[in-house]
Amino acid sequence: MAVAGAWLTSVQNEALRLDVYLVAVAPAPGESEWTFEGVPLFEQGDPVVTLQYVVTNVGEEDLVLPNGDMRISLNYADSGHSATPSEFFWELVESQGVPNSPIDFTATAGETDWNLPIGPGRSVSWAEAYWYDEGADALLSLELNEFVDGEMDGDRYVIDAETDLVLRAP
């Protein structure tokens, strides 16, 4: 698995480690689907930032990412609203040399169970594009629910954490 960009931060507990990399800042290929009081979060051409996530199982048991994902949000301190969910600019993300999912959906065509197990010592990666506010203080929050008997348990977490970071273009 290739890592792109500049390392920003890590969050770790006894089960997993999340490393975050700033891949690139680029013009948004479209207007934000998310609005605040009727105004799009950003317009086409405004800067968006691509962050790559590398999740490593540092525990002794398999971890499961439902649909190959975990809940990650990015909130800017001065904006009063979230920069996520991502805008799903998959083509932009892939053009920057990083995958938009740890699952190769073309190889799993026809499957409906995309829960992704990660064995001990193994890592997976994906990237997402977010509204970009250069130099602003941000809070990255992440959650991953536990899987018990093949089902996600909405009340128990493998990790429920947050960390501060500042985004600056590489």
Does domain 6-166 match CATH 2.30.29?
no
What average pLDDT does range 59-73 have in this prediction? 85
- The gap from C-alpha 123 to its chain's centroid, in whole angstroms, comes to 14
At residue 126, what are phi and psi to the nearest 5 degrees? -160, 170
Q: What is the pLDDT of residue 12?
A: 93
Among 82-91, 120-129, 135-144, the range scoring the smallest mean pLDDT is 82-91
Q: What is the pLDDT of residue 170?
A: 67
Exposure of 37 by Cβ count < 10 A (0-12 exposed, 13-18 middle, 19+ buried)? exposed
Give the whole-number percent of the chain exceeding pLDDT 90: 26
Q: What is the pLDDT of residue 13?
A: 93
Exposure of 101 by Cβ count < 10 A (0-12 exposed, 13-18 middle, 19+ buried)? buried
Distance CA 68, CA 128 (A): 13
pTM recorded for the entire structure: 0.87
Q: pLDDT (tens digit, 9 = 90+) per residue, 7-18? A: 999 999 999 999
Q: pLDDT (tens digit, 9 = 90+) per residue, 79-115? A: 665 665 555 788 898 899 998 887 766 665 555 567 8
What average pLDDT does range 134-144 have in this prediction? 85
Distance CA 93, CA 71 (A): 18
Checking phi first, is residue 128 left (phi over 0); if not, alpha (psi -120 to 50) or beta? beta
Res. 38: pLDDT tops 80: yes
Q: Write out the H or E segment, with its range, that includes residue 90.
A: helix 90-95
Q: What is the pLDDT of residue 45?
A: 93
Higher pLDDT: 33 or 127? It is 127
Distance CA 33, CA 85 (A): 10
Q: What is the pLDDT of residue 96?
A: 92
Domain residue spans of the chain: 6-166
What average pLDDT does range 120-131 have in this prediction? 91
Which residues touch 24 (CB under 8 Å, ≥6 apart)? 5, 49, 50, 96, 170
